[in-house]
Amino acid sequence: MDQKYVGHTLFDSLPFGKEMLASRLVMAPMTRIFSPGGVPGEDVAQYYRKRAENGIGLIITEGTAINHPAAVHSPDIPRFYGEDSLNGWSNVVREVHEAGGKIIPQLWHVGAARKAGSEPNIDAPPVSPSGFTLRGQRNEKIKALTKEEVAEMIDIYAEAASNAKRIGFDGIELHGAHGYLIDQFFWEVTNKRDDEYGGDLGERTKFATDIVRACRKAVGPDFPIVFRFSQWKGTDYEAKLAHNSNDLAQLLNPLVEAGVDIFHCSTRRIWEPEFKDEDPSLNLAGWTKRITKKPTIAVGSVGINRAYLSNQDNADVTIQDNLKTVDEKIIAGEFDYVAVGRALLADSEWAVKLKNGKLDQVTHYTKESEKNLV
């Protein structure tokens, strides 16, 4: 297979809000825990700059802690509040822009995925919709958010969105995937509320839609809001919010009405169909675009030779095969952007090597490469 052919659609320029991206390639958000005291330093700025100057159109930062004491579980996860952290992020933005890229922060609260006693605020209890663990068990160490606390949390997200715009970011991403706080409100396993934030799947979107509306009010009509969601959770890779396309519409349509511009559809393997009984080819991003008519970001083991959390090499699904599939699906209009994660951890020049037909020169991802994230 001609390496100069595969992935050629990824280097199209296309809009992101009122701006243009240099390519369809998105750097997926990946937790690094490399920001001592929650402040991103010059090393973080250069880490992102290297990816921007080597062909990545849009960078989504690692998850950043919103201004809540139980938002994250390590003091070295970057904060998105406090002038010291925001000044650090301002420098990151400046470096990425100088390299010709665009960048958005991922705004994050882990909810019940945080263990009691975790730093940086060991006295702050984990919070969740209903006080349940991610395995559906009630836990007295997890605090169920009151309605007043829900309202405060929504305001905290909006404050982060406002700060993102103020310091020069190109949009925001709300992390509503993988069993974290927003996703916990979506999921019937963790949301047992009997107020307006609970109920059926459509009703369980209210926390997320209230956040989106508050963020939209804070940033105005033209600042892109990306929403990341998933079916799978960190504790259950087979979990489903939506069992069919009708369920998916119940989840997504309220988010569209609230003001989401782009959906980032997190899957473990980009080539797998989401509802194979309804359509044997469409993945989650394809279904999301069909339902919402909004641009979508597809993701899932694109640039590596081992599928996410797989113990075996996928001998029948190579990187070239994946990229050819991506080309075909982009040309068919199934999704618009493609996020790449671990391949970019291992090789900051992955995209430009792909563009130049030099995939054979790529440094491939291994667990060892996680120790050298530069």
Q: Where are the alpha helices (DSSP H) in 220-266?
A: 245-258
Spatial separation of the C-alpha atoms in residues 13 and 49, rounded to whole Å: 19
Provide the whole-model pTM. 0.94
Query: How sure is the predictor about 373, in pLDDT bands with cuts at 50, 70 and 90?
Result: low
- List, in sequence order, every residue forming a beta bridge with 118; answer none if it has no partner: none
Which one of 48, 157, 180, 197 is the catalytic residue? 180
Spatial separation of the C-alpha atoms in residues 287 and 308, rounded to whole Å: 21
Domain segments of the chain as ranges: 8-372
pLDDT in tens, 42-89: 999 999 999 999 999 999 999 999 999 999 999 999 999 999 999 999
Residue among 148, 234, 153 nearest 195 (CA): 148
- Percentage of the chain lying above the pLDDT 70 cut: 93
- pLDDT of 5: 58
pLDDT in tens, 137-194: 999 999 999 999 999 999 999 999 999 999 999 999 999 999 999 999 999 999 999 9
- Top-level class of domain 8-372: alpha beta
Query: How sure is the predictor about 309, in pLDDT bands with cuts at 50, 70 and 90?
Result: very low
Tokens of 178: 């993988």
Query: How sure is the predictor about 315, in pLDDT bands with cuts at 50, 70 and 90?
Result: very low
pLDDT in tens, 219-244: 999 999 999 999 999 999 999 999 99
Q: Using the Cα atoms of residue 116, residue 119, residue 125 and residue 128 in order, give the sign of their dihedral.
A: negative
Using an 8 Å Cβ cutoff, are 32 and 51 in contact? Answer: no
Top pLDDT among 1 and 270 is at: 270
Spatial separation of the C-alpha atoms in residues 13 and 245, rounded to whole Å: 30
Tokens of 13: 């320029």
Q: Is 180 known to be catalytic? A: yes
Residue 125 in this model has a pLDDT that exceeds 60: yes
